[in-house]
């Protein structure tokens, strides 16, 4: 009988998702790391079907993300909706469906991957910054509601990472971000994955918190 805790990571095909999968596996988790074809976070039907096969979930990492950065005057409704759907609606739908099983078992942990943009929004990210800021409010409300049922809910600001998503940002944006780091260096996806494992396994009394994992001053 496999008594390992089970973790699901949404958006697992990206750099952060892959690193988190490796970290959780090394920490002893049974890790499910679906890509978009296996788990469409914007579809409740897709999520329900995936969970029906996955079974009970101990840790959900809502990691699926999308950026479409443009000046406000050029941002289309589609640009707005697509970013909101993946970053906010997707996290809501995944958490809602997974929480049902957690409530029955009175145990579980949900971790939302937010962004430093949620608390210090840059220009040109109206859609993304709004979605990630809303994610923090959603996390805190869920933590209040689910805490009495022994379910933890936390959020992580992973920092400016060298991933495919951030590689698409303009060079001046990346350089400006680096200059704001007091340590003068960027965080790594591997460090974020290790922190998620540590948070789940060694901080059982921590919920409703936002963890900033780089050296920019909040």
**Full-model pTM:** 0.93
Provide, rounded to the nearest whole percent, the portion of the chain with pLDDT above 70: 98
Domain formed by 6-207, architecture: 3-Layer(aba) Sandwich (3.40)
Taking the domains of the chain in order of start, what are their residue ranges? 6-207
Annotated catalytic sites, by residue?
128
Long-range CB contacts (within 8 A, 24+) of 128-136: 128/66, 128/67, 128/68, 128/69, 128/83, 128/87, 130/84, 131/83, 131/84, 131/87, 131/88, 132/87, 134/88, 135/87, 135/88, 135/91, 136/112, 136/210
**Residue 20: how many other CB atoms lie within 10 Å:** 31
**Distance in angstroms (rounded) separating the CA atoms of residues 69 and 124:** 5
Q: Model confidence over 56-111: pLDDT tens digits? A: 999 999 999 999 999 999 999 999 999 999 999 999 999 999 999 999 999 999 99
3-state helix/strand/coil string of 69-91? CCCHHHCCHHHHHHHHHHHHHHH
């Amino acid at each position: 009988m496999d008594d390992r805790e089970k973790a699901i990571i949404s958006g697992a095909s990206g750099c952060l998702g892959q690193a988190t999968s490796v970290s959780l596996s090394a920490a002893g988790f049974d890790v499910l790391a679906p890509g978009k074809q296996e788990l469409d976070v914007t579809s409740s039907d897709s999520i329900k079907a995936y969970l029906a096969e996955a079974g009970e979930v101990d840790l959900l990492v809502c990691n699926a993300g999308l950026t479409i950065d443009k000046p406000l005057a050029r941002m289309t409704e589609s640009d707005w909706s697509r970013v909101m759907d993946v970053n906010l609606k997707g996290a809501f739908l995944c958490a809602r469906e997974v929480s049902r099983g957690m409530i029955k078992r009175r145990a579980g942990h949900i971790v939302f991957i937010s962004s430093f943009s949620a608390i210090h929004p840059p220009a040109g990210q109206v859609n993304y910054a709004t979605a990630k800021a809303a994610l923090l409010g959603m996390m805190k409300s869920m933590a209040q509601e689910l805490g009495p049922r022994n379910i933890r809910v936390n959020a992580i600001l992973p920092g400016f990472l060298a991933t495919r998503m951030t590689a698409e940002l303009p060079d001046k944006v990346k350089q400006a971000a680096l200059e704001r780091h007091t340590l003068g260096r960027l965080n790594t996806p591997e460090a974020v994955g290790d922190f998620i494992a540590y948070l789940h396994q060694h901080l059982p009394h921590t919920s409703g918190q936002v963890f900033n994992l780089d050296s920019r001053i909040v």
